[in-house]
A and B are shown apart, each in its own frame.
Chain A
Amino acid sequence: MIPKIASGISGLDELTGGLPDNTMTLVYGPPKTGKSIFCYQFLRQSVAEDDLCMYLMTDYNLSQLEAQMMAFDWFIAEYIAKKKLYVIDTASGSVGATQKEMKNMMISFPQNPTDIVSKVIQELQSIYQETQRFRSVLDSSTTLFAFNSPILMIRVLKSYTMRIKMAGGTGIITYTEGAAEPQIETMLKATVDNIIHLDGEEMTIEAMAGLKHTDIGYQITDAGIAVG
């Protein structure tokens, strides 16, 4: 039996038992198909289980994340106050914001993967002192692909995935289909353990240990992604 952790998406968890523990999952699809909502639900599950979560955000800052989750009646203020959330924010970095960094709130820059990975490693050092089991979110790799050589980004995501898994994490990386060349997408898929495709109507589990290729219908509702 493969140990699983709940994704927070109820229909999906009932079907698969959750995401395999200590693996990296790619969630990809066209724009507006619920990839970020998938991440919010994963974070919400992290809140529910009191797990630590490392959240690398490239398109919104922490207060925007909080607001977006609040639209679904999901609240993370207390979770943040308890220092359970570790943020690396490259969205603020891209507009030149500088602020005092804390060990769980860091700013980085989308065009500087060396700095991003170095911040990831600094946060992992703190996380590893607390727990050997945590979650991670990278939403979205698309932005990083836009700012860097795609082949360099593949190297960076490999390094990122290796670091997260070595430290005991289970993570999600999102990616907008078509943002990079097909051969880069193939390499991206080879970097992760599990692959979930969203097209707005169907969720396809393209790869996951112990599971066949599976299609399931889904909708985006007031309560997030509803499967089945």
Chain B
Amino acid sequence: MAVTTDGLRKTHIPMLDELLGGGMPEGTSILFTAMPGVASDVFGYQIAAERMKNDGDLCLIYTNTKAPVEIEHTFQRYGWDLRKSLDTERAFFIDSISPMMGVPAIGKYVVNDLKDSENVVKNAIPDVAGGTAVIEDVATLLDTIGVDQTFDLIRQLNEAARANDVNILYLFTRWNYEEAMIERLSGIVDCEVKLFSIEEKVIYRQVFAVAKSNWVKTSKIKIFFEVMEPGGVRVFIPKVLVTGPYNAGKTTFTHAIAPNTVSVERQTYELFPTTVGLDIGHIDYKGFSADVFGTPGQERFDLLLEPLGREAIGTFIVVDSTKPETFVRAKEMIRMCRTEAIPKVIIANKSDLPNALSPEEINKKMALWEDVSIVPVSAMNKDGLDQALDTLFNLIYRV
């Protein structure tokens, strides 16, 4: 496929256009592969809605999981007006769900038997020449008409889309299918965008990444996103929290991993200078990007911990390896940040001091309710920082 930067059609998904070098070449296919529980429909709908609004695209939506009225409601919740496009025949449904539900079908085309999907959609694609087609959901096709027939359908639809300059978007909920089948599926589309979860016992964040593209070199960049109603896909910069007891060396550690950190602090006239505001910095490390927030350790600032913890994707809990009497406080802070459910790494700081406890001793003394990685660090000497970052990012992304 020719590499062109002009003539690319925008997806209007923030950051996705950047990752795709500007957008999609006309007539290409994108497969959105989503882990169960991660929103995928919004990606298809957002591209369709924004392209209809901004680029005057015609659009078709093939559905075998959602009733057309339900899709209309979903558009509405995101703040996009599908009704007007339906009324003016700028958009239409290919309804293959209503017959199965035993209710009257809504749409320009009706599929009574999923096996007929290929022919019906293929014949409908010229109706939206130069526009967008959304196909939902590939999983239902795979498990109903079979793998070979589904692959055949995708190949045929891609061909029809290419011939009619239609961008075709497949939404696919990735249940426990065989890896080999999923790879083959990725092989028959022009581009695959993977949507996956960041989890620790429960899913708490969603991420997308371009896994494959025929027109642009893919990077390993992962984009955190959330779905707003209204608004659709919004990206955000992940936050990493640095917390821990008073005088454990949080500010030193934060500055060490994020050298441009600004300390919003006021010097206190105590024995040690201490952070009474926040340390705020940014790290770019091996393709991962995150804002870093260092919290004060004193109890009177505990109110700050919960809202910061709620926003965080990972936490460093910094403890002073030479002060086991502060470990109870560290445990209490883990609880207050509500970080039980997000990845965390304990930074055993001041590990260069002669009386520093080993990670094993700290683990034993802290008596944590689960396995938490403990990394010995000397923030002062900048020792162990890479290992600390690797450990946390590995937990977050499960790379």
Contact = CB atoms under 8 A, between A and B. Distances in A.
Contact of A158 (B69, B97, B137, B176): B176
B202 A114 contact: no
B40 to A, nearest CB: 7
Contacts of A129: 338, 341
A117 B37 contact: yes
Given A114-B139, A163-B37, A125 B144 contact: no
A61 interface: no
B277 interface: no
A149 B143 contact: yes
B36 A159 contact: yes
A152 B140 contact: yes
B67 A96 contact: yes
B202 A124 contact: yes
B100 A96 contact: no
Interface string A128-140: 1100100000000
A167 interface: yes
Interface string B283-297: 000000000000000
A159 B199 CA distance: 14
Contact of B176 (A117, A124, A159, A163): A159
Interface string B29-40: 000001011111
A178 to B, nearest CB: 21
A98 B341 CA distance: 32
B37 A118 contact: yes
Given A120-B37, A152-B139, A152-B143, A114 B201 contact: no
B100 A111 contact: yes
Nearest to B69: A96
Contacts of A98: 73
A165 B61 CA distance: 36
B70 interface: yes
A94 B101 CA distance: 9
A166 interface: yes
B225 to A, nearest CB: 14
Contact of B140 (A125, A149, A158, A159): A149
Contacts of B40: 114
Interface in A69-125: 94, 96, 98, 109, 111-115, 117-118, 120-121, 124-125
A32 interface: no
B204 interface: yes
A117 B338 contact: no
Interface string B55-87: 000000000011101100100000000000000
Most buried by A among B41, B70, B340: B70
A94 B100 CA distance: 12
Contacts of B73: 98
Contacts of A117: 36-37
Interface string A167-193: 110000000000000000000000000
Interface in B131-154: 137, 139-140, 143-144
A156 interface: yes
A120 B101 CA distance: 23
A124 B202 CA distance: 7
Contacts of B204: 125
Interface of A: 94, 96, 98, 109, 111-115, 117-118, 120-121, 124-125, 128-129, 132, 147-149, 151-152, 155-156, 158-159, 163, 166-168
18 contacts: A94-B101, A98-B73, A111-B100, A111-B101, A114-B173, A118-B38, A121-B37, A121-B203, A124-B202, A124-B203, A128-B201, A147-B101, A149-B140, A151-B143, A155-B175, A155-B176, A159-B175, A163-B202
